[in-house]
């Protein structure tokens, strides 16, 4: 009996460790990888790195709130754990891909508005496809 509990605890520990490692890799990709990828325009290289950090942080926070509104079971609290953080980082990645397309043409205020709209639409799309299984 004790051996079964021990194996369950070991399995939970390994799953938790794996999720933390995945989060660490995704987090590094978002903040360092995308940040220095956006330096391809010489004129906007410094502002691109700074805006990348700003946009990724705001997008991740906003994504956690939006994701919590769509997926919360009791609608009174929002669960923040490692899988929700990984999901938020992927939402930040979608924002940063769009940021690469409009780099040098938009102001930080317009980028902030883009975050607010695009995260909601991305999470709505994810909710419709994965939870409600609405396909084309």
pLDDT tens digits along 53-93: 999 999 999 999 998 887 766 677 888 888 888 889 999 99
pLDDT of residue 64: 92
Flag whether 71 is in a domain: yes
In 29-104, alpha helices (H): 34-37, 45-71, 82-102
Flag whether 45 is in a domain: yes
Q: How many of the other CB atoms lie within 10 Å of CB of 44?
A: 15
Flag whether 88 is in a domain: yes
Select from 120, 70, 76, 119 the least CA-distant residue to 99.
119
Flag whether 4 is in a domain: no
| Spatial distance between the Cα atoms of 90 and 62, rounded to a whole number of angstroms | 12
| pLDDT greater at residue 96 or residue 72 | 96
Record the pTM: 0.81
Flag whether 91 is in a domain: yes
The domain in which residue 79 lies consists of: 19-131
Please return the burial class of 65, using the count of CB atoms within 10 Å of its CB with bins 0-12, 13-18 and 19+: middle
Flag whether 49 is in a domain: yes
Flag whether 3 is in a domain: no
What mean pLDDT do residues 15-33 have?
A: 85
Structural domain tally of the chain? 1
Flag whether 38 is in a domain: yes
């Amino acid at each position: 009996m004790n051996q079964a509990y021990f194996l369950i605890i070991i399995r939970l520990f390994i799953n938790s460790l794996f999720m933390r490692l995945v989060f660490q890799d995704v987090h590094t990709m978002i903040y360092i990888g995308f940040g220095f990828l956006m330096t391809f325009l010489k004129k906007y290289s410094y502002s691109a790195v700074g805006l990348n950090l700003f946009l990724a942080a705001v997008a991740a926070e906003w994504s956690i709130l939006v994701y919590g509104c769509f997926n919360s079971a009791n609608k009174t609290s929002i669960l923040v754990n490692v899988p929700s953080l990984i999901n938020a980082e992927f939402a930040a990645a979608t924002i940063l891909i769009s940021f690469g397309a409009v780099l040098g043409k938009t102001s930080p205020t317009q980028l902030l508005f883009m975050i607010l709209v695009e995260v909601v639409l991305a999470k709505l799309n994810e909710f419709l496809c994965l939870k409600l299984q609405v396909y084309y």
